């Protein structure tokens, strides 16, 4: 339910959301999120204009030792919890016969970004298999063999893990050469490495709008 008399103001909402996260006020964060629960378009705005920049700011505060690791982890946990509450508003009744397996690069702990990506796919009727953080590459490959997805999406948050991403992509492609791989995440704010941009079976998407455009143009995609 929206706050009475509420009008969208993304910068103010982002600041309020940051404060809610840093103070550990889950209820306050949920109230802000519910103001955007009226449609898929509003939820995408919430993700792109409120939650994502809020978590980027929290990450910067942690990087400069202005908040503790515990505070950074709590902020991430609260954000994901709030997003989970919106699931019944996200899932589309109009399903398409498409599947995507989503996960993080090995050894990464931040899964909110790839959760947003999973939700965008759900809005467009895809079946999503969200494996989150901490999934070993071999386990992801074995799971993908079972569910036979159209795509595999990988999130990279920490730029220093780029070599791990490349290793993971190579192993997936060697075992599942017919499956296209999507990747993106905060680490790509530093730019796309040539070693990834040259791979024809990999697409790097920088934000949620690019992901949505990819979905809409995906081969054989049918808007119902």
110-144 pLDDT, tens per residue? 899 999 999 999 999 999 999 999 899 999 999 99
Q: Fold for 99-217, please state it.
A: Rossmann fold (3.40.50)
pLDDT exceeds 90 at position 55: yes
Q: Cα–Cα distance between 115 and 113 in angstroms, integer?
A: 5
Alpha carbon 38 to its chain's center: 20
138-182 pLDDT, tens per residue? 999 999 999 999 999 999 988 889 999 999 999 999 999 999 999
8-52 pLDDT, tens per residue? 899 999 999 999 999 999 999 999 999 999 999 999 999 999 999
Note the CATH number of domain 10-90.
1.10.1240.10
For 90-105, letters b (16+ CB in 10 Å) and e give: beeeeebebbbbbbbb
Q: Cα–Cα distance between 126 and 147 in angstroms, integer?
A: 13
- How far, CA to CA in Å, does 101 sit from each of 51, 144, 173? 23, 7, 14
- The answer to whether 205 touches 214, Cβ cutoff 8 Å, is yes
Pairing state between β 180-184 and 127-132: unpaired
Longest dimension (CA), the chain: 55
- Region 193-197 average pLDDT: 80
Q: Please state at what angle helix 112-123 crosses helix 52-63, rounded to 10 degrees.
A: 170
Domain ranges of the chain: 10-90, 99-217
Q: Please state at what angle helix 26-34 crosses helix 10-23, rounded to 10 degrees.
A: 160
- Taking the model in full, what pTM does it have? 0.91
Q: Cα–Cα distance between 214 and 224 in angstroms, integer?
A: 17
pLDDT, greater one: 187 or 23: 23
E-state strands within 2-119: 99-104
- The answer to whether 171 touches 152, Cβ cutoff 8 Å, is no
Look up tokens 């609260």; give the residue. 78
Q: Look at residue 207 and give its three-state secondary structure.
A: coil
């Amino acid at each position: 339910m929206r706050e009475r008399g509420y009008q969208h103001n993304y910068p103010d909402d982002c600041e309020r959301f940051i404060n809610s996260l840093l103070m550990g006020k889950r209820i306050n964060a949920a109230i802000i999120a519910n103001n955007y629960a009226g449609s898929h378009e509003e939820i995408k705005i919430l993700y792109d204009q409120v939650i994502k920049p809020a978590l980027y700011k929290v990450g910067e505060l942690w990087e400069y030792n202005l908040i503790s690791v515990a505070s950074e982890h709590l902020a991430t946990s609260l954000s994901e919890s709030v997003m989970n509450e919106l699931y019944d508003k996200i899932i589309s009744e109009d399903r398409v016969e498409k599947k995507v397996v989503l996960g993080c690069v090995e050894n990464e702990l931040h899964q909110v970004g790839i959760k947003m990506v999973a939700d965008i796919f759900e809005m467009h009727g895809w079946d999503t298999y969200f494996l989150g953080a901490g999934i070993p590459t071999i386990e992801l490959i074995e799971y993908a063999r079972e569910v036979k997805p159209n795509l595999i999406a990988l999130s990279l948050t920490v730029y220093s893990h780029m070599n791990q991403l490349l290793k993971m992509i190579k192993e997936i492609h060697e075992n599942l050469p017919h499956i296209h791989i999507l990747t993106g995440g905060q680490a790509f704010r530093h730019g796309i490495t040539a070693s990834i941009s040259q791979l024809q079976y990999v697409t790097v998407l920088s934000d949620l709008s690019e992901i949505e455009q990819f979905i809409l143009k995906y081969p054989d995609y049918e808007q119902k």
